[in-house]
A and B are shown apart, each in its own frame.
Chain A
Amino acid sequence: MITVRNIEKRYGNAPVLRDLSFSVKAGEIFGIVGHSGAGKSTLLRCFNGLTTYEGGSVKVMDREVADLNEEGLRELRRDMGMIFQNFSLMSRKNVFENVAFPLRIWNSRKPGRDPEITGRVMELLELVGLAEKRCERVQNLSGGQKQRIGIARALALNPKILLCDEATSALDPKTTLNILDLLQSINDRFNLTIVVVTHQMEVVKRLCHRLLLLDKGISRCMGKTEELFLAPPEGLKDLAGEEYALVPSGANIRILFPREISQQSVITDMARELDISFSIVGGKLERYIDDVLGFLVINVPDEHFERVCHHMRQKNLHWEILADDNNAFQRPQ
């Protein structure tokens, strides 16, 4: 379906994609993952010619993208739907008109097009479960509903390939799962090839048959999803493991909360008594053998570090200092 050979892409002098080669098979869901700035969106936009590339070859449905003229590109794009992180719907059109937009563009001179378009749009709205919202303005929809409209619009022209650029990044976890199920069922029903760009591991685990891990424009690993997650290579561990980002300056301290300690008062008392401010970096409820219920990670500026330690020792708190790589930590004396 899509074959990429030694693709090279630069913005000015900065290389964004370097010597990538892979192919996407018909009917599969292919994931492109990596940190922010890895070049995922750029790579995706090379497939439908929204950006150009300097070297190598991208063949989509046996057409070399760089060789297509304006007309050829438009026809290629007609066969490729795309959905976006921020939905990119037209705010002044209602739901129906947004979905109808690609159809109107391509059938503008066709006689008797209106009933045909209406039929197709209603079919699509049924598919994404929003038929009763057809006259609603898109501003009045929730994020999940907007993305459903985006999906309906992307499918309007019966594409062979669906490109998804961070399609679920702006959605909450539950809505994300809904959208992923929808994409999955579309893939099953229409045997549609889907390329998914994401930095969310749960998206990859739930949806993608195969994945490509991008790091600064270079391919770090590629293969079947379950195989890669059973024995994750170094780069994938990075991306999958981190739950929260530690603030690089100051000291990151994890305070543990056994049942007998009230969380709010510990943090507020410390701020009040020492008269300093610190930021809360993360937290989670976890169950340990000695009945710890949760923890909070706070970031303390270096100059207050000693006073905070002293305070916590006085109050008999359970705490530990987090080293940069998250797992290793030193127990305080």
Chain B
Amino acid sequence: MITTLFSALNETLYMVFLSTLFSAVGGFGLALPMILTGPHGLRPNAGIYTALDTAVNLLRSFPFMILMIALIPFTRLVAGVAYGNTATVVPLTISAIPFMARLVEGSLLEVDPGVVEAARAFGASDSQIICRVMVKEALPSIILNLAVLAITLLGYSAMAGAIGGGGLGALAYNEGYIRFRADIMFCAVAVLIVVVQCLQSGGNYLYKKLR
């Protein structure tokens, strides 16, 4: 049982790590134009901001299960297959990008506008303000949000496990629930709890350290 648990944990970490990585990059890339064109941004542009804002809301309102099924053709295109651990990374990433974009947007909005204004007053360009002031000041909060993202993706990956992906979710559902192996189910859930705790504590630690 220990070995099954370990290989399931391995699969889960694989899915969570890759999808966190990709959606962090994607979410960051989406958050920057939102911050730039937002109402208090450096280059306010209501048109672009509304478009991005609406797109993010739209994607976020899809239930993950539905999104995953709707994305099957796309997943097959990207990953070559529609099911399995690697394939699951695709819908996980797509569903988490708008979520991460919101989190990063929130972190960047928390940066003291006075500090941004000061940088402008010394002649900093927009790109310098974003890289050297806003992202730098918001870094601890962005990292904390990264832990939130990873934990959310952990939950989703468990859900995805129930319909074709692997990992701890699949183990708990297929072996534990369907085949009445309560011990396996409890162990899988216990491991999930530990992973969530580790992610959150790691995030909190880095936040405190970087602040």
CB within 8 Å of B: which residues of A?
48, 50, 70, 73-75, 77-78, 80-82, 84, 86-93, 101-102, 104-106, 153-154, 156-157, 163
CA gap between A105 and B136 in the complex, in Å: 14
Which of the candidate stretches B62-70, B76-84, B118-126, B156-164 sits at the interface with the other chain?
B118-126
Listed from nearest, the 10 A-B pairs whose CB atoms lie closest are A88-B114, A88-B118, A77-B123, A102-B122, A74-B123, A82-B121, A78-B123, A105-B124, A88-B115, A86-B114
Q: Which of A74, A84, A88 contacts B125 (CB 8 A)?
A: A74
Question: How many residues of chain B have a CB within 8 Å of chain A?
Answer: 21
CA gap between A89 and B128 in the complex, in Å: 16
CA gap between A184 and B172 in the complex, in Å: 73
Would you give the shortest CB distance from B122 to chain A, in whole angstroms?
Answer: 4
Decide: A48 near B114, CB < 8 A? Known: A90-B136, A90-B137, A92-B136.
no
CB–CB B115/A102 < 8 A? no
CB–CB A90/B211 < 8 A? no
- Chain B residues, Cβ within 8 Å of A156: 122
CB–CB A92/B139 < 8 A? yes
Most chain B CB inside 10 Å of its own CB: which residue of A87, A88, A89: A88
CB–CB B122/A90 < 8 A? no
Would you give the shortest CB distance from A70 to chain B, in whole angstroms?
Answer: 8
CA gap between A92 and B211 in the complex, in Å: 6
- Chain A residues, Cβ within 8 Å of B122: 77-78, 81-82, 101-102, 105, 153-154, 156-157
10 contacts between A and B (CB under 8 A): A74-B123, A74-B124, A84-B114, A86-B112, A91-B115, A91-B137, A92-B137, A92-B210, A153-B122, A156-B122
CB within 8 Å of A: which residues of B?
112, 114-115, 117-125, 128, 132-133, 136-137, 139-140, 210-211
Q: Which of B112, B123, B137 contacts A75 (CB 8 A)?
A: B123
In the complex, residue of chain A having the shortest beta-carbon distance to the beta carbon of B116: A88
- Chain B residues, Cβ within 8 Å of A154: 122
A-B contact count, CB below 8 Å?
A: 70
- Chain A residues, Cβ within 8 Å of B132: 101, 104-105
A90-B133, A93-B136, A106-B123 known; 17 other A-B pairs, CB under 8 Å? A50-B120, A73-B123, A77-B121, A78-B123, A81-B122, A82-B122, A84-B114, A86-B112, A91-B211, A92-B137, A101-B119, A101-B132, A102-B122, A104-B132, A105-B123, A105-B124, A154-B122
CA gap between A156 and B123 in the complex, in Å: 12
CA gap between A300 and B81 in the complex, in Å: 78
- Chain A residues, Cβ within 8 Å of B119: 101, 105
In the complex, residue of chain A having the shortest beta-carbon distance to the beta carbon of B125: A74
- Chain B residues, Cβ within 8 Å of A93: 136
Most chain B CB inside 10 Å of its own CB: which residue of A73, A78, A105: A105
CA gap between A87 and B19 in the complex, in Å: 40
- Chain A residues, Cβ within 8 Å of B139: 92
In the complex, residue of chain B having the shortest beta-carbon distance to the beta carbon of A106: B123
- Chain A residues, Cβ within 8 Å of B118: 82, 84, 88-89, 153
CA gap between A104 and B128 in the complex, in Å: 10
CB–CB A88/B112 < 8 A? yes
CB–CB A88/B117 < 8 A? yes
Would you give the shortest CB distance from A104 to chain B, in whole angstroms?
Answer: 8
CB–CB A50/B117 < 8 A? yes
- Chain B residues, Cβ within 8 Å of A105: 119, 122-124, 128, 132
CA gap between A264 and B133 in the complex, in Å: 51
- Chain B residues, Cβ within 8 Å of A82: 118, 121-122
In the complex, residue of chain A having the shortest beta-carbon distance to the beta carbon of B139: A92
Most chain A CB inside 10 Å of its own CB: which residue of B123, B136, B210: B123
- Chain A residues, Cβ within 8 Å of B210: 92
CA gap between A73 and B125 in the complex, in Å: 10
Would you give the shortest CB distance from A180 to chain B, in whole angstroms?
Answer: 21
CB–CB A102/B123 < 8 A? yes
CA gap between A11 and B112 in the complex, in Å: 22
Would you give the shortest CB distance from B181 to chain A, in whole angstroms?
Answer: 50
